[in-house]
Structure 1
Amino acid sequence: MKITWELAHLAHVELLTPKLDESIRFFTEILGMYISGIEGDSAYLRAYDDYEHHTLKLTAHRHSGMGHFAWRTRSQDSLETRVMAIEATGLGIGWEDHECGYGRAYKFYYPDGHQCELYFDSHKFKAEGDQKSALKNTASRFPGKGMNVRRIDHLNLLAKDIVAFRDFQFGIVGGRMTETIIFDEQPKGVWVSVNNKSYDLAITEDHSGMNGRFHHLTYAVNSREEVLLAADIALENGVFIETGPHKHAIQQTFFLYLYEPGGNRIEIANPTARLILDPDYETIVWNKEERMKGQAWGLKTVESFHTRGTPMPEELL
C-alpha cells in the first residue's frame, strides 16, 4: 500500500457522555487536565503539554461513545490533497468553520461510520499567569494534580470491516501499518502510525454487529511508575479499573484501563519506549497462537476488552 505522509498527528477526540459534569470532574480532578473552555453542552480540555487549545471535547449526550476525532495535517497543501482523495470516495461531508478559533476543517466518514475531520490551521494554546511553565519548552505548567497526564497519545476504534477501514486509512487518508493481528488470513486489528510514534490510531474488530463504535482514548504519562501511581489514585477515588497495570505485547505500551463516569474507556499509558525510525520498516504480524498467550508478561486479556465498546447496545434502547 502507498504510504502518504500528509498527516501530522492525532489532534483531538470528542467523547459523548450522559454525565457531563461528572466526566469533567474525572478528567480535571483525577487525570489532572486543564479546561480550555466551555461552550453550550461541551467542555474543551487539554493535558499540560498538549500544544493545541484542546485535545478532548466532552459533549453532553443521551449515551456514551465518540462524536468525532480529528487529524491535523502537515500543511495546507496536504490538507487539500487528502480532501480531494476523500471526496473521490463519496465519504465526504464537507467544509465548515472549525470551532474554538481554528481554521476550516473538512469532515468525512470512515467506512464503518466513524466521523472524522482534517484541518491544518491550529489554535495553539498560549499559557499565561499561573499556567506558565518554568520551562519554556513545555506547553503549560505541570499540574501536580491527580494522574498528571502529559499529552494525548492514541485512539482505538472498533469496526466490523477491518479490511475496508485499513484500505481507506492507508490508501486514502495516509500513514503506515506498524503492527497487525491476522487470524486465518483475516485481519483482526491494525495499528496506524503517521509520524515516528509507533501508533496514533488502532482499529480492532467489533463483534457486536454495530457500526462506528469507540474502544478507548489514551493519555500518556511520563513513566511506568506514574502508571502504577495512577492505579493507586483510581483505587482511592473509586474509579473502576478494567485491567492493568501491565505491559502490552503489541506496541509494548505499559497500560492501565479505566472507565470514566460517562461509560467510555480511558487508558493511562507510558508508550514512549518504541519509536519507528527505520525508513524501510516492515509491519509486525501477530497470529492467533501468539495472541492467545495474552499480554507481554502473560496477563490474559479480560473478556470485556473484546466485547465492550461505546455506545453499548442497551444505551440505544
Structure 2
Amino acid sequence: MNTALPEEPVYDVAQLGHAELLTPVYEDSLRFFVDIYGLDLVAEEGGSAYLRGWGDTELTTLKLTAAAQAGLGHVGWRAVSPQALARRVAALRAAGVEGEWIDGDVGHGKAYRFRAPSGQLMEVYYESEKYHPTGARKPYLPNQPQAEIHRGVGAQRIDHINILAPDVPGTREVMARTLGFKLREYLVPPGQGEVGAWMSLMNKAHDLAITREAEPTSGRLHHLAYAVENREDVLRAADTFSQLGQPIEFGPAKHSRTQGFFLYVIEPGGNRIEVFSGGIHIFAPDWEPVRWTTEAGGRSTAWGLDVPPSFHGHATPVLV
C-alpha cells in the first residue's frame, strides 16, 4: 500500500468550511443545535437554517435542511485563493472527478460541486463572507471572531467530518491527489484491509476521517464534529447534555488516534454529532503516517473505554 506523501505537498485548500446536514425533524434538530449544542442561528430560508459556532470566523458553518431522512447534504472545503480554487478544480477534472459550478449559498460564493469516490456530495470554493459581530457579541480582543457567549454546550467552531467509504485507501488517495489532504494516521487490523484514515489539510490532527462502510451502499455520514477549547469543556458538555435530557452515545474519553478528547450524541434527526477538543498538531513537513493495527495496547480507546456497538453500526442515512 502506498502511504507516501506527494513529491510536493499541496496547500491549496485551507479548511473545512461548512457542512449541510439533512433532518426529517427540522424543528427538533434546529432546537438541538441552537439551545443544546449552542450554535447561533444566522438565517433561515428555503427550508434550511444557517448556523455558526461562536469561534467560527465564517458567517455560517452549518446548513441544516429539512429532508425525508437524515444524512449529509454536502460538505464544503475552502480554498486559499481564487487561483488555488482553479488549480483544485483542474486537478479534480484531471483525476476524472467531474462536477459543476454552482452560484453559491448563504455565506459563500461560487463553488465547484462534485461527488467524492465514496459517494458524498462535496464542493470547493473560495469566496466567503466573514462574520462581523455587533453589540454584546463584539469581543474586547479584536483577534477573536466574537465574544465568548455560551449557550448549552457552547460549541466553538467546526472541526472535522467523518465519512464512510466502501474503499478507504482509494478514497483517501483521490482526496490527497486532488485537494491536497495529507495522510496522518491509518488503521489496518490484522487480517483485514485498511478500515480507517485520518487526514488533514494543514497541521491539525484531522479535517477529514474516512472509515470503512460495512454495508452495500455509499455516501453515508458517520459524524460531524465541532471543537471546544479544552477537556473541561467536553466534561461540561456531558453535564449539559444530561441536564437537558440529551442521551450520550459515547464518551467522554480520549481517542487513541488523533489523541482528541471526545463526546458523541445523536441529534434528534438521527445524525451523530461530536464535541471534540485537543488532538495532536503536526508541524514536521516530513511527517510519516502512523500505521495502527489495533487500538493502543489492545484498548478500545486511549484509556480503555469500550466502544458501544452503535458507534460502528449507526450512520446516516439509516438503511431500512
TM above 0.5, yes or no, is: yes
Q: Separation in 2 of the partners of 1:263 and 1:119?
A: 28
Cα deviation, residue 288, structure 1: 3.4
Q: TM-score, normalised by structure 1?
A: 0.95
Alignment correspondent of 2:263: 256
- The alignment partner of 2:188 has SS state of strand
- The alignment partner of 1:177 has SS state of strand
Alignment correspondent of 1:220: 227
Q: CA RMSD in A?
A: 1.4
Alignment correspondent of 1:28: 34
Alignment correspondent of 2:109: 103
Query: Is 1:298 the counterpart of 2:304 in the alignment?
Result: yes
Cα deviation, residue 31, structure 1: 1.5
Query: Is 1:122 the counterpart of 2:128 in the alignment?
Result: yes
Q: Separation in 1 of the partners of 2:54 and 2:216?
A: 38
Matches within 5 A, 1:226-305: 226-271=233-278, 273-288=279-294, 290=296, 292-305=298-311
Cα deviation, residue 163, structure 1: 2.0
Number of aligned residue pairs: give it: 313
| Of 209, 212, 236, the match for 1:205 | 212
Matches within 5 A, 1:27-46: 27-46=33-52
Q: Separation in 1 of the partners of 2:106 and 2:16?
A: 17
Q: Separation in 2 of the partners of 1:21 and 1:142?
A: 26
| 2:266 aligned partner, one-letter code | Y
Cα deviation, residue 262, structure 1: 0.5
Cα deviation, residue 112, structure 1: 1.6
| 1:19 aligned partner, one-letter code | V
Contact 1:208-1:307 within 8 A present in 2 as well: no
Alignment correspondent of 2:202: 195
Q: Separation in 2 of the partners of 1:216 and 1:11?
A: 16
Q: Separation in 1 of the partners of 2:175 and 2:247?
A: 33
Cα deviation, residue 103, structure 1: 2.1
Contact 2:295-2:301 within 8 A present in 1 as well: no
- The alignment partner of 2:304 has SS state of coil
Q: Separation in 2 of the partners of 1:58 and 1:4?
A: 31
Q: Separation in 2 of the partners of 1:106 and 1:36?
A: 24
Q: Separation in 1 of the partners of 2:136 and 2:159?
A: 25
Alignment correspondent of 1:132: 138
Instruction: State the 4+ residue runs in structure 1 displaced beyond 4 angstroms.
Output: 289-292
Cα deviation, residue 136, structure 1: 1.5
Contact 1:70-1:116 within 8 A present in 2 as well: yes
Alignment correspondent of 2:88: 82
Deviation string for 1:125-160 (max 9, x for gaps)? 111223212222111122231111111111000111
Change in 2 beyond 3 A, CA 1:56/1:289? closer
Q: Separation in 1 of the partners of 2:314 and 2:258?
A: 21
Q: TM-score, normalised by structure 2?
A: 0.94
| Of 168, 171, 184, the match for 2:177 | 171
- The alignment partner of 2:139 has SS state of coil
The percentage of counterpart residues that share the same residue type is 42
